[in-house]
Amino acid sequence: MATSNITYVGELRTVCMHLQSGTEILTDAPTDNHGKGEAFSPTDLVATALGSCMVSIMGIKSKDLEVDLKDSKVSITKIMQSEPRKIAKIKVVLDLSIATSDKNKIILERSAMTCPVLLSLHPDIEKEVVFNWK
């Protein structure tokens, strides 16, 4: 079964529909590549998916540890290279708004580093990950 449908709506924009939920995401080419930058670009979504996946995997593990990650934040910085045009680096900063043991922190950090998106990214893409514990 398909995961999503994508419609090109012109002017370097697409509408992406998640078939199971009906949720839509609009994409737009970035301003440095002929777009208006008025929505996520496809490469923004790749970088954002990394952070979302990492904190989601941590959320799954946190249930086992009886730790609540609610209100934790993830900041993503995507760095492109020009030739060939592709993602060169993704910086992920996880600001985790919880107090927990050092052991739990290690378990959660290791869990994040096993997220499927991280494991699926090409090895040439540099990944810089920072965990900030409150």
User: What is the mean pLDDT of each successive set of 10 residues along the chain, which is 134 residues long?
Assistant: 97 98 97 95 98 98 96 97 96 94 97 98 98 94
Whole-number Å distance between alpha carbons of 2 and 26:
19
Global model pTM greater than 0.75: yes
Q: Give the residue extent of every domain in the chain.
A: 4-33, 42-133
Q: What is the per-residue pLDDT for 3?
A: 97
Q: What is the per-residue pLDDT for 134?
A: 83
- Considering the domain 42-133 in this protein, what is its CATH number? 3.30.300.20
Q: What is the per-residue pLDDT for 130?
A: 98
**19 φ, ψ to 5°?**
-65, -35
